[in-house]
């Protein structure tokens, strides 16, 4: 009878160690899978933000071009003459201040 008890105790220890080993192994698999999924998600976010940055840079370029066209002296002169009725001053109307 003593032999069977020892054998059962030894088998229980081996089974316990095996269960502990499998639990740690499965936990590592879950952690690895979780970290990979997060890594892929971060990669997608980086890609999306990079695309958004390119769009914003293109918008900035277009706005700079539009600002330059709005500031052009030809455009301002045309608006002054057509809409505001202003004319270029003559020599008599100008005064040089030393």
Residue 47 lies in a domain: yes
Q: How far apart are CA 12 and CA 6, in angstroms?
A: 10
Query: Which tokens go with 86?
Result: 């202003």
In a domain, 87, yes or no: no
Whether 70 is in a domain gets the answer no
Instruction: Report if residue 15 sits inside a domain.
Output: no
| Number of domains the chain contains | 1
pLDDT in tens, 13-72: 899 999 999 999 999 999 999 999 999 999 999 999 999 999 999 999 999 999 999 999
How far is it, in rounded angstroms, from Cα 70 to Cα 79?
11
Q: Would 34 be classed as within a structural domain?
A: yes
Range of the domain at 59: 27-63
- The reported pLDDT for the residue numbered 93 is 87
What pTM does this model have? 0.59
Q: What is the pLDDT of residue 4?
A: 59
């Amino acid at each position: 009878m003593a032999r069977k008890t020892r054998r059962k105790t030894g088998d229980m220890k081996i089974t316990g160690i095996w269960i502990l080993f499998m639990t740690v192994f499965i936990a590592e698999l879950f952690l690895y899978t979780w970290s990979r999924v997060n890594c892929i998600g971060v990669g997608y976010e980086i890609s999306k933000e990079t695309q958004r940055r390119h769009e914003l840079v293109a918008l900035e370029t277009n706005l700079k071009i539009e600002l330059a066209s709005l500031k052009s002296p030809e455009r301002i002169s045309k608006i002054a003459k057509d809409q505001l009725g202003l004319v270029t001053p003559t020599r008599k109307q100008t005064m040089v201040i030393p």
